[in-house]
Amino acid sequence: MPISREIKIAALGFFLLLLLTALYWYSSKEPQPTLAETVSVTVPEGFNVYQIASALESAGVVSREEFLKEAISEEGSLFPDTYDFFKDSKPKVILARMKKNFEEKTAIYDSDIERQEKNMRDIVIMASLLEEEAALEKDRKLISGILWKRISLGMPLQVDAALTYATGRASHKLTDEDLALDDPYNTYKYKGLPAGAISNPGIGAIEAAINQTLSPYLYYLSDSKGVIHYARTFEEHKLNKTRYLR
């Protein structure tokens, strides 16, 4: 027996009623909070806090100025790595993550550092210099040996990278006035390590600061191609300057 016209109309009306009810229920629901968005930020080895701050701001994690207010004193202990941060993260949360990573990655060197009668702070400062001074492991270890030797002999380190950190000027743009600058990062004026780290070194540079290569050298310079040239005496060093920097 065919379905009557009245039943069809009733069924259609019921369907429309259900549809309207569903639409009303959906539109009246409270909007659900969306999950906080995370972004991936890579901090390369040798980045200083100013470069890290710029990278975080570019990724939308935190403003550069807000981060630097908390981060300046943490230079050297912010481990280079790739991190996932929530957007609009607080600087203290970011710093805690990076410092914890540093502590976990460097804990294996504690006994070696203690055996050398050094401390982690000095190792990190030295590693930050090595990170800026050379790219190759063999050069970093040789330069590490040279710099530790200069300290033991009471000679100034005369590391351009530390003065560059203080002045913001590239090594080749440093002036005689810069070399005489009264600043705790001026290793031409003050003997020993600079006042603090000048970047956040990676494991390679930290290992070079601990496991330096002993050599007869006291001087080194880098030519325009990044090749390091070593010298035993100041006279040899001056000759290298003439050969490779002019």
CATH number, residue 64: 3.30.1490.480
Confidence check: pLDDT of 8 > 80: no
User: What is the DSSP code (8-state) at residue 173?
Assistant: G
Q: Which residue has the tokens 């290298």?
A: 240
Q: In whole angstroms, what is the distance from residue 191 CA to residue 65 CA?
A: 32
3-state DSSP assignment of residue 20: helix
Please indicate, yes or no, whether residues 141 and 232 belong to a single structural domain of this protein. yes
Q: 221 and 156, same structural domain?
A: yes
Tell me: the pLDDT tens digits for 105-135?
Answer: 999 999 999 999 999 999 999 999 999 999 9
Query: Can you give the pLDDT at residue 173?
Result: 76
Single out the residue in 47, 80, 106 at which a domain terminates. Answer: 106
| Same-domain check for residues 137 and 95 | no
- 135 & 74 share domain: no
pLDDT (tens digit per residue) in 129-140: 999 999 999 999
126 and 185 part of one domain: yes
pLDDT at site 24:
53
Highest mean pLDDT among 28-42, 170-184, 210-224: 210-224
Its domain, for residue 48, covers 38-106
Question: In the prediction, which pLDDT does 81 show?
Answer: 97
- DSSP label at residue 193: S
**Final residue of a structural domain among 60, 80, 106:** 106
Confidence category of residue 20, pLDDT binned at 50, 70, 90: low
Q: Is residue 34 predicted with pLDDT exceeding 80? A: no
The closest of 116, 149, 124 to 220, measured between CA atoms, is 149
Q: What is the pLDDT of residues 194-244, one digit of tens each?
A: 999 999 999 999 999 999 999 999 999 999 888 999 999 999 999 999 999
Instruction: For residue 28, tell me if it sits in a domain.
Output: no
Residue 32 scores a pLDDT above 80: no
Structurally, the chain folds into a number of domains equal to: 2
The pLDDT value given to residue 169: 79
The predicted pLDDT at position 167 comes to: 87
Mean pLDDT throughout 59-71?
96
* Nearest CA-CA partner of 159 in 200, 195, 208, 204: 195
68, 83, 106 - which closes a domain: 106
The answer to whether position 60 is within a domain reads yes
Beta bridge partners of 84: 40
Residue 15's pLDDT is what? Answer: 60
- What SS3 state is found at 155? coil
Q: Does 2 fall in a domain?
A: no
Residue 36 has a pLDDT of 61
Q: pLDDT digits over 145-157, tens only?
A: 999 999 999 999 9
Rg (CA), the chain: 30
Which pairs from 236-239 meet CB under 8 Å and 24+ separation?
Answer: none
Within-domain flag for 97: yes
Note the pLDDT of residue 17.
Answer: 61
Has residue 31 got a pLDDT over 60? no
Residues of 104-121 as b/e, b for ≥16 C-beta within 10 angstroms? eebeebeeebeeeeeebe
